[in-house]
Amino acid sequence: MSENNRPLNFIERIIEDDLATGKYTSIHTRFPPEPNGYLHIGHAKSIWLNFGLAQKYGGKCNLRFDDTNPVKEDEEYVESIQKDVQWLGYQWDGEIHYASDYFDQLYDWAIYLIKQGKAFVCDLNAEQMREYRGTLTEPGKESPFRTRSVEENMELFEKMRAGEFPDGTRTLRAKIDMASSNINMRDPVLYRIKHANHHQTGDKWCIYPSYDYTHGQSDAIEYITHSICTLEFEAHRPLYDWCIQNLPVPAEPHQYEFSRLNVNYTITSKRKLKQLVDENHVDGWNDPRMPTISGMRRRGYTPKAIRDFCEMAGVTKVEGVVDVSMLEYAIREDLNAISPRAMCVLHPLKVTLTNYPEDRTEIMTAPVHPQDEAMGTREMPFCREILIDQDDFREEANKQYKRLVLGKRVRLRNSYVIEAEEAIKDADGNIIEVRARVLEETLGNNPADGVKPKGVIHWVSARDNVDCEVRLYDRLFNDPAPDAGGKNFLDSLNPGSLEILSGCKGEIGLAQATLDDRYQFEREGYFVLDSRYSTPEKPVFNRVIGLKDTWEKAAS
């Protein structure tokens, strides 16, 4: 977390008080993702908070995979999560941890609860268990199997582990209070039967602990001091505490909850994100339109911009929705400061400079960054034939049009002033070439006759350029709340979220671009090479973000 003059958030105040009173001499946090999908922008906030707090207060942060559901988990997700954490600028303490590392201990503690008369094997199926659980206004009913003896529970639990029962036929449940106002305390499930291969433990287990049972005990085993979760786990905290209090754990961590990061025009349900991938609505988990960290990385977002966004969003206990324009502001601010400038013509139109010698080539010099002289200069060849954008020429236009018009003048960025003389058209009446003349002595100067150019446009040499493809990405959804109120989020997919432009022409220096380079294409936005489709022979540039918030302009 960055050091600045902002007020402490409530978790920082708790930590500083715990350190000041000597409750802890150092803090230990953890980031516990379930490896059942790729991490998204909401996880980025949790990563920033847990790892950032450890950094700020000289503590430690573990990366622990909550791998208690082998049916939905995959090693691909494990690897992607590690990559995402490190890309965001963080490193976990020591070795990677897995909840499955503790399966033997958790099993032993389950037996401890059975022997203490605090857990029982239940034969109710899932539907019956829902019926017995009750509602928010009505208490639940005790399972008819709740009164089994310790000996019978031990025998059945051991048979569960031995694989003698089919999936879903029995569970191990804690014996707490079916009349509790908190439904999570109504004899919750601690173990369920799943005959499934586990990506870490193979076929060793056919029973798997629940998240609620695993979470607190894993924290205790790792001596976590501040177990930080999002607010949906607040109602689970009494169960977290019950398990800690009723088991011989080596430490007593405490759970704290903060509001999750909800962003408009975005969905963060892993199930729905997976549906987008599986049904080919997007180009995989790392599609640049996806709110996944890997998607944002491929799009060209920077780790700093994402961390800055998390800080701007703040840490509170109040649920709300953050405007995605805040994230877009953060990326524009960062890219504006660090991005080399370049010119790229997305819709090329040839301009022939009739009074410029055919055999002449000049080298134009321009700053790499107009506000950072230390980044140096770049060179661009200039010749008789250049390319400008089709939108930068009109045969006729009103005074508000500040580009090239027949009989009018415009300055080429970092080059001469030119004046359009003739438009050449094909048989269908489409403009295929503009003929213009160069005004000599206008490099760095206005024309001697005092008639100033109306504007400045970008260009590239028609002879020396980089042929490239440009992908214009926009928001994936055109509804600010695509899955709210029971809506089908697929109905809100933005049909204009991707436009692919071939035959674009970039200035010659773009031939040296790497995957780590982000450029501001002057007057067009910020761009980065696509990590999937770009090749040295044919670079493909993704638009990270436009120069301005066009959505806000359209809405107003």
Q: In whole angstroms, how far apart are CA 269 and each of 17, 125, 340?
A: 35, 27, 36
The whole-angstrom distance between residue 284's C-alpha and the CA centroid of its chain comes to 14
289 burial (CB, 10 Å; 0-12 / 13-18 / 19+) is: buried
- The answer to whether 487 is a known catalytic residue is no
- The answer to whether 332 is a known catalytic residue is no
Pairing of strands 226-230, 254-258: parallel
Q: Backbone phi, then psi, for 381, in 5-degree steps?
A: -70, 140
- The answer to whether 518 is a known catalytic residue is no
Query: If you search the block for the tokens 């586990």, which residue do you land on?
Result: 198
Half-sphere exposure (Cβ direction) of 237: Cα atoms closer than 13 Å: 16
Please tell me which residue in 30, 64, 270, 543 is annotated as part of the active site: 270
Please tell me which residue in 34, 142, 152, 385 is annotated as part of the active site: 34
Query: DSSP letters along 44-57, please?
Result: HHHHHHHHHHHHHT
Question: Is-contact 175 218, C-beta < 8 A?
Answer: no
Question: Is-contact 505 348, C-beta < 8 A?
Answer: yes
Residue 304 CB neighbours (<10 A): 18
Question: Is-contact 23 279, C-beta < 8 A?
Answer: no
39 burial (CB, 10 Å; 0-12 / 13-18 / 19+) is: buried
What are the strands, taking DSSP E only, across 346-443? 348-353, 362-367, 377-382, 385-389, 393-394, 404-405, 409-412, 417-425, 431-439
Q: How far apart are CA 149 and CA 171, in angstroms?
A: 16
Q: How far apart are CA 466 and CA 513, in angstroms?
A: 11
Residue 275 CB neighbours (<10 A): 14
Helix residue spans in 400-536 (DSSP H): none
Please tell me which residue in 260, 274, 435, 463 is annotated as part of the active site: 260
Q: In whole angstroms, how far apart are CA 397 and each of 108, 197, 214, 524?
A: 81, 69, 69, 21
Closest to 270 in 3D by CA, of 81, 37, 481, 35: 37
Query: DSSP letters along 195-242, please?
Result: ---BTTTBTS-SEEE-HHHHHHHHHHHTT-SEEEEEGGGGGGHHHHHH
Instruction: Give the tokens for residue 279.
Output: 């049904």
- Known catalytic residues are 34, 260, 270
